[in-house]
Amino acid sequence: MADLSRDIQACLQQILHQSEQMFDASVDMLDQTLSQIEQGVEEYVEPIVKEIEQGLDEVLDPIIVDLIAFEHELEEMASPLTQRLYPLFDQQPACVGCRHYYGKTYGETFLVCGMHPYGASTNSCPDWESC
């Protein structure tokens, strides 16, 4: 009975060893196959991607240049509409150094801050906070 048990155990170990070898060989073959497929796909797709990139560059480059020029023109046209002024000691003494200070003009209207759009009515502001 002991011999039969040893024979079965040896047979199972041999089957396990052969299964591992077969599995390793299958994994190696799969890796090689996938590498070949990847290389073939790259060789096929790369020229197409380059052609698409060139076409997009030809189409988009002039558009981007025009958009940048348009953006600069808009900035130049909008700059007189929103001009930032910094508080002066003689005009807005309570606002000097305040984090709430806004100081932009819109046409004829000058907005001082979010708390007091037309400036503090006194020489000190109860809402003043350091920058």
pLDDT of 15 higher than 70: yes
Asked which of 39, 55, 79 is the last residue of a domain, the reply is 79
Quote the CA–CA distance of 42 and 47 in Å, as a whole number. 9
Q: List pLDDT tens digits, range 1-10.
A: 778 888 889 8
Do residues 15 and 48 both lie within one domain?
Answer: yes
Instruction: Look at residue 90 and give its three-state secondary structure.
Output: coil
H or E segment at 113?
Answer: strand 109-113
Strand order in the sheet with 101-106: 82-84, 101-106, 109-113
Question: Region 3-26: what's the mean pLDDT?
Answer: 90
Q: Tell me: pLDDT of 121 over 80.
A: no
The separation between the first and the last C-alpha atoms of the chain, rounded to the nearest angstrom, is: 92
| pLDDT for the residue numbered 69 | 92
25 vs 105, higher pLDDT: 25
Domain count, the chain: 2
Between the alpha carbon of residue 71 and those of residues 66, 85, 115, the distances in Å are: 9, 23, 32
Residue 131 is predicted with a pLDDT of 67
The rounded distance, in Å, linking the Cα atoms of 70 and 10 is 82
Structural domain boundaries enclosing 89? 80-131
pLDDT of residue 62: 92
